[in-house]
Amino acid sequence: MSKFFIWLLLLLILFISPFIGAVSLDVSDVFRPDSLQNSIFFELRLPRVVFAFFAGSILALSGLLFQTLFRNALMTPYTLGISSGAVLGAGVAIKLGLGSLAFGIAAISIFGFLGAMLTILLLIYLAKFLKNSHYESILLLGIALSLFYTSALMVLFYLGSAMQNDILLRFTMGSLSVIGWLHPITITAIGFILFLTIYLYRYELQLLSISDESATLRGVNTKRVTLVLLIVSSFAIGTLVSISGPIGFVGLIVPHIVAKLHPVTVNKRILKTALFGGFFLVFCDTLTRALQTQSELPIGIVTALIGGPFFIYLIISKGKS
Amino acid sequence: MIKLDSLRCNYGKKTILKNISLEIEKHLTILGANGSGKSTLAKALCNLIDYEGTISIQGRDIKELSLKERAKLISYIPAKLEVYDPYISVEEFVLLSRFAHKKNSMDYSDKDKKITQNTLEFLKIAHLKNHTINSLSSGEAGLTLIAGALAQQSKIIILDEPTANLDPHNCKIVAQHINGLKEYHQVILITHDLHLASFIDSPTLFIKDSQATYYEDDFFQDSVLKELYGVEFSNLAVKYE
């Protein structure tokens, strides 16, 4: 029963979320055309909720995917340094002063995307030197890359002007603030592509969640399936992070919460994880707007503040069993 | 029929198996000391590891088979049932063995589910179908693995130490099921349980010092066993009848 209330609560938050913020909106004013309230609702709040929802879905699905493919609870695009790669890419674009647009896309986004994709390719390349069974080593590689990127980012801060540093700092804290529908529609489309890809490979994923060997013996081309799923999810994460900046912990904690709520095999948790991830990020984003004082709390900080303690709980409770 | 031609397997720089040429007409039991390369040979047969030489089944090189074709020909039962997903049930696990028979990206068919159900009933573990794999006892896990191999409907079934973790009672149940498999499947049994091996009573391949010796039907004699194992035997008792 408590399951039902958690889902219901999250669904309710989804509906009240667009009305919460610096300007509180009234339902009756919102639907009056040409009012300020109307444009705040349809051009700022609604796109933001849609963006947050699908961003959360992408983060949670990618987390589920990485954890299943590598059979390790700590594997996520965030812990593997893919997000950090995007931040560094964006940092380089800011430092070079590339504010201009190419085909309507900000240079920061392009560089961020490239940073994420280069990181996953580097990880796949480096993983070839590892023995197949030692996925923990990939996690160590990812952590090493993350630390390297963080140091490189510090160098950029050191070299940057005050204004560049301010833009960069805000980017590294993550933001779901969007204007208009371009970004929400992009992320919605990518969210659907990621979900569909995972859905098509749901039984391969279920076999991989037993072991690599079992999957191979039952006829799964494990290398190809793993590669396809990693590339698609890195593409999704790369695009997302290049727009929103890094948003940590969602990919790590949501798959675990869903598994605790619904202890069923992995292919039956795909849709639930996508929905919960979406609800969870909308909830965190609503908090940032509800708690605001002079300006909004950055979303990356809220998810980390909730996710950090949960992460510790996860490690401790794993040690007990 | 399985045909091995000058098979050689290395692990790093160490040679595990060398110069093995053999035609396996029907059933085979592979015996040998710990670390002698029994499992290596089994994994080579499934093309899970690199090897030199050729292995062919029914005249086809196994390296040229697609993964699904191979899964329809060979199933492999590991010594221990280990799953990462803590929530997968017995029924779901056995159903996954139908993967090679399933169309890409589609759900498992009613026929697949029927075969799974029948297999569970045949092995008398249908009452466990909603239990998670991790909650099973060793005996139940052993039967679940056999159910998986049966549902896969492959001609050849390779069993790697099926009785390694079992008490005598469960050994007997598993042994009788393995004996039953011989009717419709080609059973390749890897074990160092000599009681099990003599009960199954297939031609024997003994692996020692990376070489294999084949015994058609004269393996289970006290003098032969003493020479191979260096331990005194007297009338190896068969207990599984």
Residues of A in contact with B156 (CB under 8 A): none
Cβ–Cβ below 8 Å for A203 and B108: yes
| Confidence bin at B117 (pLDDT 50/70/90) | very high
Is A43 a residue whose pLDDT tops 80? yes
* Residue A42 near residue A25, CB atoms below 8 Å: no
Q: Please give the Cα distance from B93 to B212 (Å, whole number).
A: 35
pLDDT digits (tens, 9 = 90+) for B173-207: 888 888 888 888 899 999 888 888 888 878 888 88
φ/ψ (deg, to 5) at A93: -60, -40
CB burial string A220-255: b at 16+ within 10 A, e below: bebeebbeebbebbbbbbbbbbbbbbbbbbbbbbbb
Q: How far is B81 from chain A (nearest CA, A)?
A: 9
What is the mean predicted confidence (pLDDT) over A132-158? 85
Task: State the angle between helix axes of A270-290 and A299-320 in degrees (0 to 180), rounded to the nearest 10.
Answer: 130
The beta-carbon neighbor of A263 closest among B87, B96, B99 is B87
Q: Please give the Cα distance from B90 to B142 (Å, whole number).
A: 12
| Confidence bin at A103 (pLDDT 50/70/90) | low
Token pair 């980017």 is found at A171
User: Helix, strand, or coil here: B168?
Assistant: helix
pLDDT at A320: 45
What is the mean predicted confidence (pLDDT) over B101-122? 91
Closest CA to A177 of A95, A300, A279: A300
Q: Would you list which residues of chain B are within 8 Å, Cβ to Cβ, of chain A?
A: 46, 48, 66-68, 70-72, 74-76, 78, 82-89, 92-93, 96-97, 99-100, 102, 105, 108, 152
pLDDT digits (tens, 9 = 90+) for B5-34: 888 888 777 888 888 888 888 888 888 877
pLDDT at A42: 85
> Which residues face B3 on adjacent strands?
B23, B56
Is B212 a residue whose pLDDT tops 50? yes
Q: Please give the Cα distance from B80 to B197 (Å, whole number).
A: 19
Between A315 and A313, name the one with better pLDDT. Answer: A313
Is B126 a residue whose pLDDT tops 70? yes
DSSP one-letter string for A268-301: GSHHHHHHHHHHHHHHHHHHHHHS-SSSPPPHHH
Cβ–Cβ below 8 Å for B70 and A210: no
Residues of B in contact with A259 (CB under 8 A): 87
Closest CA to A69 of A288, A236, A215, A199: A215
pLDDT at B201: 79
Q: Please give the Cα distance from A196 to A190 (Å, whole number).
A: 10
The model carries a pTM of 0.89
A213 inside 8 A of chain B by CB: yes
Task: For residue A261, give the chain B residue with the closest CA.
Answer: B87
pLDDT at A321: 42
pLDDT at A302: 87
Cβ–Cβ below 8 Å for A210 and B96: yes
Between B79 and A277, name the one with better pLDDT. Answer: A277
Cβ–Cβ below 8 Å for A209 and B85: yes
DSSP one-letter string for A164-198: HHHHHHHHHH------SSHHHHHHHHHHHHHHHHH
Length of chain A, in residues: 321
Q: Please give the Cα distance from B187 to B183 (Å, whole number).
A: 9
| Confidence bin at A203 (pLDDT 50/70/90) | very high
What is the mean predicted confidence (pLDDT) over B48-72? 88
Closest CA to B139 of B81, B184, B199: B81
Compute the mean pLDDT over every residue in chain A, rounded to the nearest whole number. Answer: 86
Task: For residue A267, give the chain B residue with the closest CA.
Answer: B88
Mean pLDDT lowest among A65-79, A251-265, A290-304: A290-304
| Confidence bin at A155 (pLDDT 50/70/90) | very high
The beta-carbon neighbor of B84 closest among A71, A216, A259 is A71
Is B231 a residue whose pLDDT tops 80? no
Task: State the angle between helix axes of A82-95 and A162-173 in degrees (0 to 180), rounded to the nearest 10.
Answer: 160
pLDDT at B38: 84
Please enumerate in sequence order all residues whose Cβ is within 8 A of that of A19, keeping only pairs 6 or more positions apart, or say none. Answer: A25, A26, A27, A30, A45
| Confidence bin at B93 (pLDDT 50/70/90) | very high
pLDDT digits (tens, 9 = 90+) for A222-247: 889 998 998 888 889 888 988 888 89
CA atoms within 13 A on the CB side of B208: 10
| Confidence bin at B90 (pLDDT 50/70/90) | very high
